[in-house]
Amino acid sequence: MNLIIFGGFLGSGKTSVILSLAHFLVESDDSIKSNLVIIENEVGEIGIDDKVLKSDGYSVRELFAGCICCQLTSDLITTLNDINEKINPKWVIIETTGLAYPSKILGNINKYGRGIESIRTVTVVDAERWEELSTITPVLVENQVSQGDTILINKVDLVTDTELNQVENRVKELNSKANIHKVSANIEVKDCIWEEVTKICE
């Protein structure tokens, strides 16, 4: 299995971006739909995003009532190992809650996960709320950005060029090694970005 883990604060647009990636994978390989599983995590007891994902016909597993990075870590590992044993898909996309720390998730997956060939982390940054979120939850935002292999600065259509440059410069300061792309999930993420993300996983 090739894992792609999506991080980013609540409301950053992760679900829309994930749907774009899922569409890309399906269009790239007609047989991929049966080989694609999406794990969606919610802090509350009722999932909303998973309904959007399921409406598009994707196989979705939910982990509710907690955060993947803390009390549901064992549930995530159990789910991944169960998926590996029963389905063994080529791709597994994990949408983490906005409160998740990618480093904690990666550590447990690397230690206890089975059948995993590669892991790629994508962080979705909310350009519109960057200043607000960086002020309110600086440690969380900085950790999410610093741990991303790819950073998608989303909602670029909702900010000025000056604001966008400020966000991009700050992201580069926090993570100089990541591939950084400016996107708008409402318009559609370009295929070349997903080709870059999935290339390292193959």
Question: What are 94-133's pLDDT values in tens digits?
Answer: 888 777 777 788 888 888 889 999 999 999 999 999 999 9
Q: For the residues of 75-127, what is the DSSP string, one character each? A: HHHHHHHHHHHHT--SEEEEE--TT--HHHHHHHHHHH--S--EEEEEEEEES
Q: Does 94 or 41 have the greater pLDDT score? A: 94
Domain ranges in the chain are: 2-199
Question: What is the model's pTM?
Answer: 0.84
The span from the CA of 47 to the CA of 29, in Å, is: 29
Per the DSSP assignment, residues forming a β-bridge with 124 are 152
The predicted-structure confidence for 127-164, as pLDDT tens digits, reads as follows 999 999 999 999 999 999 999 999 999 999 999 999 99
Unique residue bearing structure tokens 């894992």: 3
- 64 burial via Cβ count (<10 Å: 0-12, 13-18, 19+): middle
Three-state DSSP state, 19 = helix
- Output the CATH code of domain 2-199: 3.40.50.300
Q: What is the pLDDT of residue 45?
A: 41
Could you identify the residue written with the tokens 């950005």? 145
Q: In whole angstroms, give the CA distance from residue 88 to residue 83.
A: 6
